[in-house]
Amino acid sequence: LFAKNPAWRLKIAGAGVDESRLKKLAGSSPNIEFLGRVSDNEIVKLYQQAKAYIFPALEDFGITPLEAMACGCPVLAYGVGGATETVVNQKTGLLFSEQTSESLKQAIEKSEKMIFKTDDIVNRAKEFSEEKFASRFKNFVENEYNKLIKSP
């Protein structure tokens, strides 16, 4: 996909079991860069400089989209699973319907024509902060407890 679109640049951070397979797929494309493992400070800079963070995985709850959003980076994500709980389609990023290169290509092309507001993206990420999660969990437990003690 990126090899066929020279104006697009893809930076892949991290290392793992898929790295050699991905490098083989990328071939010698000059616009695909494998960064290997990067520090926390480096990943923040990458998120802040990126036009978008691509999250094509199906996960129950992926933390990396929230990390990107906390840095003001819009997320292009496969629209199934946990991404649907964090990414607000067309506000904090885009959700694409299939795990195919064509679906991702369409999302990238659409995102290039959009303007995402950094404040909206960051504020959405803040909704998943530890403090907010703890407060929601506490309220949930209290409500369930109150239901139990009131039932006959």
Residue pLDDT tens, the chain, 152 long: 676 777 788 999 998 898 999 999 888 888 899 999 999 999 999 999 999 999 998 887 888 999 999 999 999 999 998 899 999 999 999 999 999 989 999 999 999 999 999 999 999 999 987 777 777 778 888 888 888 888 76
- Say what the pLDDT of residue 35 is: 94
Q: Return the percentage of the chain with pLDDT > 70, whole number.
A: 97
pTM: 0.80
Number of residues that this document lists for the chain: 152
Which domains can be identified in the chain, with CATH numbers?
1-38 (no CATH), 51-150 (3.40.50.2000)
In whole angstroms, what separates CA 126 from the centre of its chain?
Answer: 14
- Say what the pLDDT of residue 3 is: 66
Q: Report how far residue 54's alpha carbon sits from residue 2's, in angstroms, rounded to the nearest whole number.
A: 12
The token pair at 11 is 């930076």
- Say what the pLDDT of residue 94 is: 97
The token pair at 67 is 């990390």
What residues pair up with 11 in beta bridges, in sequence order? 33
Q: Write the secondary structure of 89-151 as one string of H (helix), E (strand) and C (coil).
A: ECCCEEEECCCCHHHHHHHHHHHHCCCCCHHHHHHHHHCCCHHHHHHHHHHHHHHHHHHHHHC
- Say what the pLDDT of residue 1 is: 67
Q: Report how far residue 69's alpha carbon sits from residue 32's, in angstroms, rounded to the nearest whole number.
A: 22
User: Which residues contact residue 113 at a Cβ distance below 8 angstroms, ignoring those fewer than 6 apart?
Assistant: none
Rg over alpha carbons for the chain, rounded to the nearest Å, is 18
- Say what the pLDDT of residue 39 is: 94
